[in-house]
Amino acid sequence: MNVRKTCSTWKIYRTRFLIKARQLTQPLLFVDALGREHRGQPGDYLVESSDGAQRIAPRLIFEDVYVAMGPAREDGMSPIEPARALQPPKRRISSRHVATA
């Protein structure tokens, strides 16, 4: 089955990790590389993790957990700079000397 015809366009979502997801517009059934069968109905989401693994997430669970970040670029990356988005904020180190007794 052609995945492009059964799904809308990719969008970026986040929880602790960035993932790509497409909402299904038609039923989809596939077997992953580990031999597991995945089934989805219109409204469910096809989820792709950073390692390329795909799975189906039921709509109610997906929409409760994930927050939309925007559309995915053609190269599959987030519309924001990944390095900048995932780095913790820089901390300033004080140049003041602490007096010791």
89 located within any domain: no
| pLDDT, tens digit (0-9, with 9 covering 90-100), for 13-72 | 776 778 899 999 999 999 998 999 999 999 999 999 888 899 999 999 999 888 888 888
Q: How, if at all, do strands 11-14 and 67-71 pair?
A: antiparallel
- Look at the chain and report how many structural domains it folds into: 1
For residue 32, give its domain range.
3-73
According to the model, what pLDDT value does residue 90 have?
53
38 located within any domain: yes
61 located within any domain: yes
Longest dimension (CA), the chain: 75
